[in-house]
Amino acid sequence: MGERYDTRDGAIWMDGKLVPWRDANVHILTHALHYASSVFEGERAYNGRIFESRKHTERLLASGRMLDVDIPWTVDEIEAAKYEVMKANGLTDAYVRAVAWRASGEDMGVASQRNPVRLAVAAWEWGAYYGDAKMKGARLDISKWKRPSPETIPCHAKASGLYMICTMSKHAAEAKGCSDAMMFDYRGYVAEATGANIFFVKDGEVHTPDPDCFLNGITRQTVIGMLKERQVKVHERHIMPEELESFEQCWLTGTAAEVTPVGQIGNYNFEVGALTRDIAEGYEVKVRA
């Protein structure tokens, strides 16, 4: 069994000050716990530097605005908090989680405008998200759940409520011995994994779903830039399920996933090919530069 996340030692930054890890708690009637009024970021630090840190902080504030959760901290203040909590915990290589939420207050219904918005930042050591799949290639299930229409959710926010079907999909995948699940969108196009974007290779060119109804990941954007630097043609487009059979290679991207090769999705198999390995290795070099 792994170490519990609520009984660790160290410090977590909450609302402007460091508090002991085990005391970083909220009330049971916190609005976010009941109505998912929460946004967050996942970031990785390498050699003491958080990769694309400001982009993550800017997205956190933008996600909050999309959910009417106005975070009362500036980019610079949040940046300082992230490095303060890493220093307090003696970390240089770490996963950093910033989370903002509607707290407990005068409202305890759907509306919560009188409740304060709180912010916390935690950091901890976290290895490869998919374990040894980074070498062998992850095995993915195909989820029965679909990414919803932009008319139903703020799909470009990194909001806690949008991960409910991701958790359910990943649980179902793990029950089948898979690392993760690939999801289609509400129209039936290939979308993403439960917490990572997806890329495919065919005839030396790369195809990746158009993020028009899910998060356009910061790692995704970084990898597209790397591919273009290598003069690899990238097609950002809608991908039909029947196309999976024709792709030769596949990988996932995300802050936690980094660049992880995929060996299988459902009944479709992929090789961990030269381009996949090159991008995975190039990303490792880039984040540690």
158 classed as catalytic = yes
Q: Given the residues 158, 170, 228, 286, select the one marked as catalytic.
A: 158
Record the tokens describing residue 221, joined without a space.
Answer: 């954007």
From residue 213, how far is each of 22, 188, 195, 225 by CA, in Å? 37, 12, 14, 21
Contact of 195 with 254, CB cutoff 8 Å: yes
Record the tokens describing residue 194, joined without a space.
Answer: 């439960």
Going through the chain in order, the beta strands assigned E by DSSP cover 11-14, 17-20, 38-46, 49-50, 94-102, 117-124, 138-147, 180-185, 190-193, 197-202, 205-209, 234-237, 249-254, 258-265, 268-269
Residues carrying an active site annotation: 158
